[in-house]
Homo-oligomer: A and B are copies of this chain.
């Protein structure tokens, strides 16, 4: 906090930042009970203020519809994400209650051991400090992200889409009411109340006040923020996920995993986008898979070998894949299919075209399973399981602030632990270094 080292930023960010930094010190030292009480009180406030929240949201939605009707910005999907219902408000409250139940990561000391010098050295898990969340139209992120930051001991500055401002203010007020009731500073959760875009720019450069930025939204938003930020960013970029069907794999497991990985939900980042199949497995597995895709209306784009196998099995209408298909994150009922010689070629394909998000092998072979787990450098690597499992709840994190495609700090689903780091603690009794 060298005063001269930091140029003054946008006055709104200076004021939010200074308040957040001060609040973060109190929150970092707060006991678990106080944080849980704040979460429980915030959940109660969401429930008791449901009508007011829905009324504020209705105004946001009304304005977005007007904008849509005159062709400015908002489309139907946007309005859908913006719209809250009694059910979503209840879900937000339930989410906070769940977060309160999670173990507090802060203060855990690990590895405390004596060193030859006589000191004891270990590591203590601590909050990051101040987290900035920049998100688009979903107002439920306000409760979700606010709750996770609170539990992990971080002050948070929330900057939602301007179209959701009334909704976000109403929800943030519930979190602040919870903090107040628990005797914690309301500035632990602050919402940027202005639509001024210069504020986002200033937040991204506010190294003095903000320790990490988490963008939540479409790829355009994430890329822009990553490009501009001076503050570290926990980000999610592409999810080009693969399933590889290995020599000798079980055809029933292959069908079940491929169906689930591609068709359970088309628009999620952990959905499979490319199916890799070994030459040996292809005739045993592709016909049933192709029929399943055809029945579900999934467009197949395959290499020549796979097209031949599918054609021979009576699966019609398979298109020819181009190299662009290997790079595509369709987020749609389209699947790229490629034949490979075996494990090595599959791993080379994944290293070249993948996005290091989530990749799975279907195999009965122990050695190749181990090689895939070790050598595929993705945030989640799986054996005989659907890529759709790459999710904070499925992994037991209880909740997630997002999925990271970074290689440092936190990879994959990021929960409370990803919002903390570890400092060193040294215990002596007058020890000096010799």
Interface residues of A (CB under 8 A from B): 1-4, 25, 28-29, 107, 113, 115, 117, 119, 121, 124, 126, 128-129, 211-212, 227, 230, 232, 234, 238, 250, 252-253, 256-257, 259-261, 264, 327, 351-355, 360, 362, 371, 373-375, 377-386, 388-391, 394-396, 406-413, 421-433
Which residues of the partner chain B approach A232 to less than 8 Å between Cβ atoms? 232, 406-408
Contact, CB under 8 Å: A327 / B3: yes
A423 to B374, CA, bound (A): 10
Q: What residues of chain B lie closer than 8 Å to A385, measured between beta carbons?
A: 119, 426-428, 430-432
Q: Are B411 and A409 in contact (CB under 8 A)?
A: no
Additional 12 contacts, C-beta under 8 A, given A362-B430, A380-B424, A384-B430: A121-B389, A227-B230, A232-B408, A253-B429, A261-B432, A379-B424, A381-B424, A386-B433, A388-B433, A390-B426, A394-B433, A411-B424
A256 near B29 with CB under 8 A, answer no
Of chain B, the residue at the smallest CB distance from A119 is B385
What is the chain B residue whose CB lies nearest that of A380? B424
Do B28 and A375 touch across chains, with their CB atoms under 8 A apart?
yes
- B421-A411 in contact (CB<8A): yes
Given the known interface contacts A264-B433, A377-B129, the answer about A421 and B409 at a Cβ–Cβ threshold of 8 Å is: yes
Q: Contact partner of A427 among B117, B384, B408, B409, CB < 8 A?
A: B384
Q: How far is the CA of A232 from the CA of B406 in the complex (A)?
A: 9
**From A428, which residue of chain B is reached at the shortest CB distance?**
B385
Question: Which of B107, B212, B424 is the one whose CB lies under 8 Å from A408?
Answer: B212
Q: Are B433 and A384 in contact (CB under 8 A)?
A: no
**Of the residues B4, B407, B430, contact of A211 by C-beta under 8 Å:** B407
CA A8 – CA B409 in complex, angstroms?
27
Q: Given A211-B408, A430-B257, are A115 and B423 also a contact pair (CB < 8 Å)?
A: no
Once A129-B407, A396-B113 are accepted as A-B contacts, the answer to whether A238 and B2 lie under 8 Å apart by CB is: yes
